[in-house]
Structure 1
Amino acid sequence: MPPTYSSSQRTSIAQFVSFTQAKESVAAKGSVNYDWNVERAIDSKRKASAEDSPVLTDMSPKKSRAATVQDQTTSMEPLSPVQDPATAASTFTATEPLSSVQNTATAASTSTATELLSSVQDTATAVSTSTAMELLASVQDIATATSTSTSEQQRVSDVENFLHFVNYVNNFYSSNNTASASTPVQQHLNKLFDTYRDSPQTEPDKILIDGAQSYLSDLSIAVDEVVHFALCDLLDVESIGEFKRKAFVSGWLNASTTTTTTTTTAAATATARPSARTATAATAQQPQPLDTIPRQSAHVSLLRKRLTSDPAYFKTIYRAAFKFAKPEHQRSVPLESALEFWKMFFSAASGGIEWNNGRRGVQWLDLWLEFYETQGKRPVNKDLWNMVGELVLKTKEEPDEQTIDGWRADGAWPFAIDDFIAWDQMDTT
């Protein structure tokens, strides 16, 4: 007569069979040997199996299924966020993705719930936030379900859910890896960046066209304004209408360290008593963190002033704009695009250097545009682009800007500019 077992004992036997693939008689004997403590019995069985053979046997169907599930994780949609990434961005301090969890997931159908949790807890140790505990709790729920499933189909379903969750966690960690900042300023900048992201799930570290337009609007920057390109230079923008997290944060951090309150305290410093002047000057040199829209907008105003007062800075921004004026993978700027960019950069109305109000009333911009549109008619290469900028600055600094021969021989000008000078002299004559 077969032995009779209580309901709890049968549950223990079923769990033993589920995790070890042993026969029921072996499962019953093992459970009895450990006073029906199924975890101890399973651990003993697994250790014994490991000593007999380092390779698990009779597991190829499940292992193949688990590998198939893992291959599918890249195409799965991430689970609903445990916490909004934009809110959680500043709370994460772990810097490594949950690779240990993903490695465990490949063998999830043959591992105990305790081992699954152990791998997650190893990673969660470095995360001292409530959000990490929420993530861990979600994994625990899945792992518990895995340990109590008795059917192969249910266990495969549990593994799929687990891998689905791991995929989300990896995406979440990846998107907030940089956001796990070590300073308050970095955390604020990452939060600010997150508010303008177009696609947090698919492009967690990019602000795309819609978000970029909103950001520029909040900074009171027009797309066709020269300071727009100064901002692109500051934030190391590679393509108009796209900001990347790393460059965004580092750009504003660098600007923060070089921006001081000197301009706001200069008057006070000048009028202060000698004994107080040193303290005032020291206060004036404290960096101003540019981690909010109002502060960044104020910095943009300083850039506008610098563009019109610092020729070297203007030249840097003008030259950097060449890559935005030309089509991608092309080496020259199309004629129409070049004319529009010159109108923008060499007009005070758009924040550039005014080239139409010469000391003797020379309308240089109009003359150049007329010449190049009627005589040049060619795409603009980088050399010509740069030398047009030099021509502008040269005419601005000339004591007698109409005496062109005086500075024409200063350097090797492109043929187009030589032709322009000859064309202008002929027209003047």
Structure 2
Amino acid sequence: MNGDAKTDERDTISVDGTMAYFKALGVGLEDASMLVCNFFKCLETSEAFSPGPLYLPGSIDFVNLQVPMEIVQAPTVGEISKQGFIEGWKAVGADTIPKQKAYVTKQVGKLSTDMDLFKRVYRHVFVCAREKGQKAISLENALTYWQIIFSPPGKPWVTASTDWLKLWSEFLTATWTKSVNKDMWNQTFEFAQKTMQDETLGFWSEESAWPGVIDEFVAYAKEKRGDVPMETD
């Protein structure tokens, strides 16, 4: 492990080590540092860290940060375990900072075209977004993360005639009163990929095994797009 990445008794990289490491990788130091500092400030004051709109950096810097965090399987924003660090970089054959920086840069460049990579990073965003001890994230935070991850350098959730992310956000804001759990987060990605392959929704049927919220969204989207007549009282 790089000498700057000092570990504490919990065998995790320290705050200073984490910030120095982000700087070395060139993943938006100022924004990443702000996020890390807010995280550890909450730890020091025993407050719950809730990464919401006020804490999130720009989409490019945030996604750049998520790429190495997925590689090392960081359990939360600003925390990297020694084991995750060693095993993650060993798996991709990058044992020095220059190699790791080059690898991250290459991966970021592939996010919008390599769907397996994008899926891994997308799923890990949920891991980092959860508050400690929680199994779900608030709808407000989920909407914010979706706006960021479905923007460049990620894959925008749009097709020739439909801004799916806009419709999805409007639908959930108007109808969804619960938090977003892991299954809903993951299934949203699967549905997004399907819509980008077939915006006619020909892949969907009432017999499909989609979550109920997606079935309801399909009806909403068809109505908004004019695929079915608007209901009137």
- Structures share a fold, TM > 0.5? yes
* 1:397 and 2:200 are equivalent in the alignment: no
Preserved CA contact (<8 Å) 1:227 1:303: no
Preserved CA contact (<8 Å) 2:77 2:129: no
Distance 2:98 2:215 in 1: 46
How many angstroms does 1:345 deviate by? 1.2
Preserved CA contact (<8 Å) 2:4 2:21: no
Q: Secondary structure at the match of 1:339?
A: helix
1:366 aligns with one of 148, 166, 178: 166
Preserved CA contact (<8 Å) 2:76 2:128: yes
* 1:378 and 2:187 are equivalent in the alignment: no
2:85 is aligned with what amino acid?
F
Larger radius of gyration: 1
Match of 1:241 in 2: 78
Distance 1:308 1:388 in 2: 17
How many angstroms does 1:204 deviate by? 8.3
How many angstroms does 1:389 deviate by? 0.2
Match of 1:177 in 2: none
2:203 aligns with one of 382, 407, 410: 407
How many angstroms does 1:422 deviate by? 1.0
Distance 1:247 1:413 in 2: 33
Preserved CA contact (<8 Å) 1:338 1:380: yes
Q: Percent identity?
A: 32
Preserved CA contact (<8 Å) 2:142 2:180: yes
2:124 is aligned with what amino acid?
A
How many angstroms does 1:387 deviate by? 1.0
More helix by share: 1
How many angstroms does 1:338 deviate by? 0.4
1:426 aligns with one of 217, 223, 227: 223
1:329 aligns with one of 133, 141, 148: 133
Match of 1:250 in 2: 87
How many angstroms does 1:196 deviate by? 3.1
Give the 4+ runs in structure 1 shifted more than 6 A.
Answer: none
How many angstroms does 1:228 deviate by? 2.4
Q: Secondary structure at the match of 2:180?
A: coil
Distance 1:210 1:382 in 2: 31
* 1:196 and 2:2 are equivalent in the alignment: no
1:313 is aligned with what amino acid?
L
Distance 2:174 2:204 in 1: 22
Match of 1:124 in 2: none
TM-score (norm 2): 0.75
Match of 1:215 in 2: 21
2:104 is aligned with what amino acid?
V
User: Deviations for 1:259-291, whole angstroms, at most 9, x for unmatched residues?
Assistant: xxxxxxxxxxxxxxxxxxxxxxxxxxxxxxx33
Mapping 1:219-234, distance limit 5 Å: 219-222=25-28, 223=32, 224=57, 225-234=62-71
Distance 1:371 1:387 in 2: 16
1:382 is aligned with what amino acid?
K
* Number of residues of Structure 1 aligned to a counterpart in Structure 2: 194
Distance 1:230 1:391 in 2: 22
Distance 1:291 1:216 in 2: 16
User: Deviations for 1:97-145, whole angstroms, at most 9, x for unmatched residues?
Assistant: xxxxxxxxxxxxxxxxxxxxxxxxxxxxxxxxxxxxxxxxxxxxxxxxx
Match of 1:294 in 2: 98
Mapping 1:145-184, distance limit 5 Å: none
Preserved CA contact (<8 Å) 2:73 2:84: yes
Q: What is the aligned-residue RMSD (CA, Å)?
A: 2.1
How many angstroms does 1:251 deviate by? 2.0
Distance 1:218 1:380 in 2: 34
Distance 1:428 1:209 in 2: 48
Distance 2:83 2:181 in 1: 31
Q: Which runs of 5+ in 1 are unaligned?
A: 1-189, 257-289
Structure scoring higher RCO (CA < 8 A, sep ≥ 6) equals 2
1:359 is aligned with what amino acid?
A
